Amino acid sequence: MTTAFGPPPPLAVATLGWPRIGPKREMKTALEAFWAGELSEERLLATAAELRAANWARQRALGAHLLPAGDFTLYDHVLDTAAMVGTVPPEYGPAQGAVGLATYFAMARGTRGRAGGDLPALEMTKWFDTNYHYIVPELSPTQEFALGSTAVVDQTAEAIAQGHRPRPLLLGPVTFLMLAKARGGAFDPLDLLPGLLPVYAEVLRRLAALGVDAVQMDEPALVLDLSDRQRAAFRTAYETLGRDQPGLSLMLTAWFGPLGDNLDLALSLPVQGLHLDLVRGPGQLEEVLGRWPQGRRLSLGVVDGRNVWRADLASLVDRLEPVVEQLGAERLELAPSCSLIHVPIDLALETELDPTIAEWLAFAVQKVGELGLLRRALLEGRGAVADALEAARAALARRRSDPRTHDPAVRARVAATTPADTRRTSPFPARRLLQRAALGLPDFPTTTIGSFPQTAEVRRARAAHARGALSDAEYEAFLKAETERAIRWQEEVGLDVLVHGEFERNDMVQYFGEQLAGFAFTTRGWVQSYGSRYVRPPIIYGDVHRPKPMTVGMTAYAQSLTTKPVKGMLTGPVTMLQWSFVRDDLPRAEVCRQIALALRDEVLDLERAGIRVIQIDEPAFREGLPLRRADWSAYLAWAVECFRLASAGVRDTTQIHTHMCYSQFNDIIEAIAAMDADVISIETARSKMELIEAFVDFRYPNEIGPGVYDIHAPRIPPTEEMVALLDRAAERVPADQIWVNPDCGLKTRRWEEVKPAIAHMVEAARTLRARRAAARTG
């Protein structure tokens, strides 16, 4: 099927990427039913096609002109790219040929007891500095590439058949290789670029055969610090692709920051368009305008694609009118700063949100509407949209003056903090001796990260309580019964430090945010974290403080049931910040200090209630790291300060834990040590203990729990596998520093998986204890 599109209209609106999940989380429902064997592959793919059709129709109805095709994925767009270019590690299937769903999901989730063996999933990590996770492609030095999936071509054909004008998008070849992991020896994946480009060229040829005249090439790596070699790879890639498809316009998109010292490179590449993130890099527009080549299109990313605040439309019109005058509307596009996958779909679904706060917000649907209003104002004049501009101005004014956004007592408390508030009484070696005497733990102490499975019964009880069908007393009795069952099972299986299971908690950020002043919550504001894991980030709209204790009651109840230590479980200030939509009228560091002080109060209340071990999770600590190294030191200084502000008020005998996952630690290990947690647990199972190397090289002085159970896959690792991982850790870290734990919380797993896996983990720890005891006596 072929067609031909004329030139896009003046100031064409592009969305760059649309949320894949469906307004009612239809994709989650379908995926999990498919994985459970309750939905056929045919019906899963039909659901995906229905969502794509609805997405395109909605974007077009909102006034978007350039509709993305290829942005929809069943799990992850980086994994889709790996499938497209045929990079399937040999244990998952044949190196050549079409990548089917079984292979695709095996790489994403691992396999358990199925044909092809018991396989772990590929490693997963954060997408740049967002809370989205991608599957890390694994490439060997002799990697061969071949077309393994035509999903982007097929989706483009679908859009054309439905009467739309699609602009297909691809993750660019250089960013893809920079995100990949070298496997089987030290080499640079960029060495593989010459073999990769022919597959990209073939995909572009197939898109051109459909009549497509433009393709969006997502290269967010252009906002990173790049070496000369990486810059050369960009030149090679786009000179080659431009030569192979001279009639196809390539729109190069670079988002999540300014181009900075890569601007010369971006302007020199033989592409026909460039997208600028003017939210995170507003200052780059003027320089680009002074150097913009004739005949190229410029995409202006002026509406925030990563946050939910309403745009200041009048200011944007002021800023963009001279740009339209200089370059002409025919050469310009209006767009969000980045793909809209990072924001919820539609504010209109939020029927329970405070209407005053709601008028301050814009989700994906509203953001496209804002782009349409900007377009009309710039093409037809402000008078054409005067009422809309006034409504936006008035909403912004009401937000600035709302007393809930400013609490003088909170501001005063932050201002009064001193460096002494961030220091423990004694250094770690002295604390360690006191904590060992107080806790009496064995070698290789075992624990879990916090949460236990949120069963259907737990979810039903929470929902019944929320709608009033279960009284407060009945719900508390239910939670206490679940907690007691969890404590008894942990004692039975032999864990050393227990947790209460977090059955009362919906989400590790939402649960706390709902009890803190300054936070608002949605009911339908879902965004994708990975695969079928969706979250509803809180919205921080005002100054933050803690009106009353949040976790003390249930944690103290759990501790009353056992003589073993029970951990208090808190989400740290940096993660609370990073996993929320943060107010844009106050520096992020200031907001983080407010959260830290609220958590400090909770930590001290837990200690007063007899809790001797308190875990303050910071899985998003590295995620907040700026993309440019020059900006790291400022961020790390306030991030470490905030963690210590939350944790440092306790006695020396109280043991502070933290947890981090999906992070590369090498380049921030000094900051992690500066957090001064007594114990840190980290995700290492998928990487087979590779991530522990940073702690070895640095000679990390405190205790560490390298994860031995990958909780993001359904498989149950055998005891021998966990012993091997612990052996690997013990070769690198002194044995008396090692804790034994899963990679992460167990909320998303089933008890049928958790119970045998934890039993294996405890047995693995006992095996190492026995060996150590034998070595001492021998």
pLDDT at 688: 75
For the cut 50, the answer to whether the pLDDT of residue 114 exceeds it is: no
Angle subtended at Cα 166 by Cα 161 and Cα 167, rounded to the nearest 5 degrees: 150
CB crowding 184-205: b at 16 or more within 10 Å, else e: eeeeebbebbeebbebbbbbbe
For the cut 90, the answer to whether the pLDDT of residue 398 exceeds it is: yes
**Which residue in 275, 500, 657, 712 is the catalytic one?**
712
- Residue 553: Cβ-neighbour burial (10 angstroms; 0-12, 13-18, 19+): middle
For the cut 80, the answer to whether the pLDDT of residue 732 exceeds it is: yes
Torsion of CA 664, 668, 672, 673, to 10 degrees: 120
Q: Among 184-188, 345-349, 587-591, 746-750, which stretch is predicted with the lowest mean pLDDT? A: 184-188
Torsion of CA 258, 75, 58, 44, to 10 degrees: 170
pLDDT at 45: 97
Strand partners, 332: 298
Cα–Cα distance measured from residue 10 to residue 203, given in angstroms and rounded to the nearest whole number: 28
Q: What percent of the chain has pLDDT over 70?
A: 98
Closest to 314 measured CA to CA, from 218, 207, 396: 396
pLDDT at 776: 82
What the block records as the tokens of 660 is: 């981090």
pLDDT at 115: 47
The mean pLDDT value for 574-591 works out to: 96
Q: Is the dihedral of CA 435, 441, 443, 446 positive or negative?
A: negative
Element (H, E) at 101: helix 101-109
What the block records as the tokens of 521 is: 């919550």
Strand partners, 133: 126
Strand partners, 134: 125
Taking only the tens place, the pLDDT of each residue in 167-205 is: 999 999 999 999 999 987 789 999 999 999 999 999 999
The mean pLDDT value for 399-413 works out to: 96
pLDDT at 690: 74
Contact 583, 542 (CB under 8 A): yes
pLDDT at 119: 86
Q: How many helices and strands (H and E) does the chain possess?
A: 27, 22
pLDDT at 489: 97
Closest to 771 measured CA to CA, from 450, 473, 457, 443: 443
Contact 598, 570 (CB under 8 A): no
Question: What is residue 419's three-state secondary structure?
Answer: helix
712 is catalytic: yes
Angle between helices 552-560 and 472-493 (to 10 degrees): 50
Q: What percent of the chain has pLDDT over 90?
A: 85
For the cut 50, the answer to whether the pLDDT of residue 2 exceeds it is: no
Contact 220, 175 (CB under 8 A): yes
Element (H, E) at 656: strand 655-660
Angle subtended at Cα 5 by Cα 85 and Cα 324, rounded to the nearest 5 degrees: 100
How many CB atoms are located within 10 Å of the residue 430 CB? 12
For residue 13, the Cα-to-chain-centroid distance in whole angstroms is 27
pLDDT at 95: 64
pLDDT at 436: 95
Strand partners, 335: 301
Report the chain's mean pLDDT, rounded to a whole number: 94
For the cut 50, the answer to whether the pLDDT of residue 1 exceeds it is: no
Closest to 607 measured CA to CA, from 660, 646, 571: 646
Contact 16, 216 (CB under 8 A): yes
How many CB atoms are located within 10 Å of the residue 122 CB? 23
What the block records as the tokens of 444 is: 């290789």
Strand partners, 706: 682
Residue 752: phi and psi, rounded to 5, are: -60, -25
Q: Which of the 8 DSSP states describes residue 498?
A: B
Taking only the tens place, the pLDDT of each residue in 284-339 is: 999 999 999 988 999 999 999 999 999 999 999 999 999 999 999 999 999 999 99
What the block records as the tokens of 557 is: 């109840």
For the cut 60, the answer to whether the pLDDT of residue 214 exceeds it is: yes
The predicted model scores a pTM of 0.91
Contact 290, 298 (CB under 8 A): no
pLDDT at 417: 97
Where does 64-161 show beta strands of DSSP type E?
67-69, 124-126, 133-135, 138-139
